[in-house]
Amino acid sequence: MNLEELCFGDILKSIRIQRGYTVESLSDGICTPEELDEFEKEIKYPTIDQLFKMSQKLNVNLSNFFDFGATSSFRYDIAVMELIKKFKYERDYHSILEVVVKEKDNAFFKHTSYQQFLIWHEGICKYYLQNKKDESIELLQYALGLTNPARTNLTEREIEILTSMAIIEKDFGNFELSKEMLLDALNHTDNLPHLLDPRVKVRILYAIAQVLTKQEKYEESLKYCKNGINHCINSQDMLLFPDFHYQIGENLLKSGAILKGKQYIADAIYIFKLQKNDKFAKLVEEELEKLLK
């Protein structure tokens, strides 16, 4: 039986045995041995980041885990994109670049839409890993131009790419330009009949709030934060919920409302911990110390 005829669990087990790993040694640091056994029996399936860690440990491409010839619970293209999105939220740009480099020449990613997605994230990495802002923006503009050279009537994906450009300009210190781009992106979301991913608009609102804080426009920033919180609640998506609480806290502290500001930041830390995001909880604790000095 060749690889194409196997199901996911068989693929995982065959690679594990071929690489000389026991269930215990492969699962170490990734999942429990019992969970790995369930993955191999296809009783349950691993998360995309568990898959990524297994591929690194086994020294194989992520695509080796996917069965393209038989019925499978996985869509490889979607899985890779979701993995990149996860790393982007975690600001793990090294892992993003690693995935992009591995998948760029993959036959499954030759379609314009997939190439656009990979080039977009390569551009993001160009700035955050190499500090090459101009080259980063050029890549993002190229990615946007693949589907919309005129940059009119942007699609949801194109709005996301424009938002990435604006965020890079913000992080580079070009606050006014960033704000103009973000407001443009926000207007484009309003022109769409429906957003498939409500986070697209929420990310824009959060970035605008950040820019306004940098410009010391605290009251205006607070309005965007509260708007963002309402969108989180209405869409039942809490990913950026603690981020908005932190931003409100920062605005209040810088406005002189110390007690209220500290409470909002404490709420942000608490929510991050509830989400098991200890990394961001620690970052916020460190930022609070800086703000109170």
R_g of the chain, CA atoms, integer Å: 21
Closest CA to 178 of 191, 189, 168, 190: 168
The Cα angle at residue 36 between residues 32 and 38, in degrees rounded to 5: 115
Report whether pLDDT(265) > 80.
yes
Q: How many CA atoms lie within 13 A of 224 on its CB side?
A: 27
Q: What is the pLDDT of residues 91-118, one digit of tens each?
A: 999 999 999 998 888 877 888 999 999 9
With a pLDDT cut of 90, the percent of the chain lying above it is 73
| Residue 97 to residues 47, 72, 85, 261, 282, Cα–Cα distance (Å) | 20, 27, 12, 37, 25
User: Tell me, what's the pLDDT at 5?
Assistant: 42
- The mean-pLDDT minimum among 37-46, 96-105, 111-120, 275-284 falls in 37-46
User: Tell me, what's the pLDDT at 82?
Assistant: 86
Report whether pLDDT(74) > 80.
no
Cα–Cα distance measured from residue 195 to residue 201, given in angstroms and rounded to the nearest whole number = 8
Task: Report the chain's mean pLDDT, rounded to a whole number.
Answer: 91
- Mention every residue, 6+ apart, whose C-beta is less than 8 A from residue 136: 123, 124, 126, 127, 168
Banded model confidence at residue 73, pLDDT cuts 50, 70, 90: very low
Structure tokens at 178: 């960033």
Percent helix, strand, coil in the chain (nearest 5)?
Answer: 75, 0, 25
With a pLDDT cut of 70, the percent of the chain lying above it is 93
Structure tokens at 257: 């409302």
Over residues 173-187, the mean pLDDT reads 98
User: Tell me, what's the pLDDT at 257?
Assistant: 97
Structure tokens at 160: 């996301």
Over residues 129-134, the mean pLDDT reads 98
Cα–Cα distance measured from residue 39 to residue 33, given in angstroms and rounded to the nearest whole number = 10
SS3 40: helix
- The mean-pLDDT minimum among 57-71, 212-226, 229-243, 268-282 falls in 57-71
First to last CA, the chain: 66
Banded model confidence at residue 66, pLDDT cuts 50, 70, 90: low
Banded model confidence at residue 68, pLDDT cuts 50, 70, 90: very low
Domains in the chain with CATH codes: 1-74 (1.10.260.40), 77-150 (1.25.40)
Higher pLDDT among residues 51 and 66, named by residue: 51
Whole-structure pTM value: 0.81
Please give the biggest Cα pair distance in the chain.
70
Among left, alpha and beta (phi > 0; psi -120 to 50; other), residue 236 is left
Report whether pLDDT(75) > 80.
no
Report whether pLDDT(140) > 80.
yes
Cα–Cα distance measured from residue 282 to residue 85, given in angstroms and rounded to the nearest whole number = 22
Q: What is the pLDDT of residues 215-257, one digit of tens each?
A: 999 999 999 999 999 999 999 999 999 999 999 999 999 999 9
Banded model confidence at residue 14, pLDDT cuts 50, 70, 90: confident
Residue type, 208: I
Answer yes or no: are the C-beta atoms of 261 and 250 closer than 8 Å.
Answer: yes
Over residues 172-199, the mean pLDDT reads 95
Over residues 71-85, the mean pLDDT reads 74
Answer yes or no: are the C-beta atoms of 268 and 249 closer than 8 Å.
Answer: yes
Closest CA to 138 of 150, 120, 151, 155: 120
Structure tokens at 98: 């690693």
